[in-house]
Amino acid sequence: MRQVHHVAIGKPKEMMISNRSKMMTGIEKTGVLEAHLTLQGFTGDGPFNMKHHGGPDRTVCIFPIEHYAYFEEKFQKTLPKSAFGENLMVSGMLEKDVSIGDIFQIGEAVIQVTEARNPCSTIAKYNHMPELYKEVQRTGFTGYLCRTIQEGTIKKWDEVTLLEADSRHVTVSYCHDMVLHRKGEKADFEKIMAVKALSERYYAALQKKLER
């Protein structure tokens, strides 16, 4: 069953990443019972580095709850909710089962998957676990990003309904295999780029690969 298990939002703030250094980041989210999603993102939420985060193609960050059990067993540590900076912790929506372009309704809102999330080292810094970033990257357990199709309120325990599956069936896991894990060639990149719903940022990154 596809369902929202946790909703979280947060504005950028200064975070301690070691005894002697700090950084500004929007990764820390606070759990709420509901949040209003707009075309620009959740009210009360936002990134710090707009070059690599945010924008109309990436208003929602989703992370499968199933991965928490894997990482907690791997590192023998209980992780806080939204440990990976996600807005929505969901069940039944693994990367291998979700495609770029899929459209879902959650509560009043409608969203579309636009990008296979490329993990960054801030995940490790935020959780004070240097090894976590490499494991997230290795497994491809990253979650994914979406754009807002219809504004509305999303609540904890809302069911997630698939309204339309993209006909090309280019899954998030496929994108990771081809791009993140560097298994792809020209035809693979072109296959991903052919999905009309793909985010502009991801498309541009693949275009650069083709030009090399």
- Are the beta carbons of 148 and 111 closer than 8 angstroms? yes
**Scanning the structure block, which residue is given the tokens 């979700």?**
98
Superfamily of domain 3-211: PK beta-barrel domain-like (2.40.33.20)
Q: Give 116-153 pLDDT, tens digit per residue.
A: 999 988 999 999 899 999 999 999 999 999 999 999 99
pLDDT tens digits along 36-45: 999 999 999 9
Q: Which of 13, 109, 116 is nearest to 58 (CA)?
A: 116
Is 0.85 surpassed by the pTM of this model?
yes
**Domain spans of the chain?**
3-211
State mean pLDDT over 100-111. 98
**Segment 175-196 mean pLDDT:** 97
